[in-house]
Amino acid sequence: MLGTPLRAPLLDDQEEAVFACGCFWGAEKGFWRLPGVVTTAVGYAGGTVDNPSYNQVCSGRTGHTEVVRVVWSTPAIDFSDLLKLFWECHDPTQGNRQGNDTGSQYRSAVYTTTEQQLLLTNASREAYQIELNQRGFGSITTEILANQTFFLC
């Protein structure tokens, strides 16, 4: 959509992370609209099968979730801006679903690629949980892991 290569090597001023917040098509649209995002791609991550198919993922037996890989320019946008969009574009308390989409492939997740991203993601989860608690909402179920393999859809 952005007209940029989906698999280009990262430049020195770029980072990547992978976000799961429901159906990947809708989630991707939110990320590609952010100024400073270089490219986005949909696929699967967080599972145990290499190069899973859509049908395999939908079976719930591979452990993957539908994700959006986001590459951004670090001088143009901060990771915290991506996290803000992530937490606010879906309900991270729903477990294995988002709205009418049900199954483990729709769970909420952030897969980081640097130690700093992991620290910031965990800190942001804690801050959002405090806000949710104050408003009477449930616990965040978001999976946060480092270095999960991304498989392009």
Residue 1 lies in a domain: no
Q: What is the CATH number of the domain that holds 107?
A: 3.30.1060.10
Instruction: Tell me if residue 23 is catalytic.
Output: yes
Contacts by residues 135-141 (CB-CB < 8 Å, ≥ 24 positions apart): 137/93, 138/93, 139/93, 140/92, 140/93, 140/108, 141/92, 141/93, 141/94, 141/95, 141/107, 141/108
Q: Which member of 21, 23, 89, 153 is catalytic?
A: 23
Q: Count up the domains in the chain and report the number.
A: 1
Low-confidence ranges of the chain (pLDDT < 50): none
> Are β-strands 97-98 and 101-102 bridged in parallel, bridged antiparallel, or unpaired?
antiparallel
Separation in Å, CA 58 to CA 44, 83, 106, 135 = 11, 26, 9, 33
Q: 């308390």: which residue's tokens?
A: 93
Residue 31 lies in a domain: yes
Cα separation, 46 vs 67, in Å, equals 9
DSSP 106: G
Residue 64 lies in a domain: yes
Residue 35 lies in a domain: yes
pLDDT in tens, 41-76: 999 999 999 999 999 999 999 999 999 999 999 999
Residue 123 lies in a domain: yes
Residue 5 lies in a domain: no
Residue 6 lies in a domain: no
Residue 59 lies in a domain: yes
Which range of residues forms the domain containing residue 113? 14-152
Question: What is the strand order of the sheet 151-152 is part of?
Answer: 143-146, 108-112, 14-21, 65-73, 37-45, 151-152
SS3 121: helix
Cα separation, 8 vs 125, in Å, equals 30
